[in-house]
Amino acid sequence: MITYTKEDILDELLKITNKPKTRVPHIVDRRNYLMAVLYYTFKVTEEEIFTYTNLVSRSTVNYAKRKAYDLYKVKDKLFLKNVNELIQKYPCDFDNFDIKKREYNTKAATISISLTHHELEIFNRYLKFKKIDKPSFGAKQLIKSVLKLWEE
């Protein structure tokens, strides 16, 4: 049973968003939690939430509410610590919501990786040795050969 109103959440959200913009995690987590409560509990649209904040786009609200939901579901310790006071004040059981998660194609994937300078030098030497023009082909070849070895 909910013991708070939509206006209570909006007032709390306005206290956070009327301050200068910041990316400090404890403030962002609190803001995201409140947006998630508005969206999932009170069915307030992203557009309406956007009008109550000083955010620059509706997509920020979309990301914020999803991020809060995901962090809450995986029981992220830092997130829960940052929003503990709000959870006590405005409890929300995210388990009861029917959240649609995007299904990803598991038959193919694009992978982005970062290499250190040293690793990149080695990779470039590999490409040169194998006479491979495109790094993506070389990376794919390496991954396939390692996976083949791993399966054996």
**What is the pTM assigned to this prediction?**
0.65
Instruction: Please spell the DSSP secondary structure of 2-18, one letter per residue.
Output: --S-HHHHHHHHHHHHT
Residue 44 and residue 119: Cα distance in Å, rounded?
48
Task: Give yes or no for a contact between 126 and 138, defined as CB atoms under 8 angstroms apart.
Answer: yes
Task: Give yes or no for a contact between 49 and 61, defined as CB atoms under 8 angstroms apart.
Answer: yes
Highest mean pLDDT among 16-30, 51-65, 91-105, 118-132: 118-132
Interval 103-124: pLDDT, tens: 666 777 778 888 899 999 999 9
- Long-range contacts from 43-49, C-beta under 8 angstroms, 24+ separation: 44/6, 49/13
What is the share, in percent, of the chain residues with pLDDT greater than 90? 57
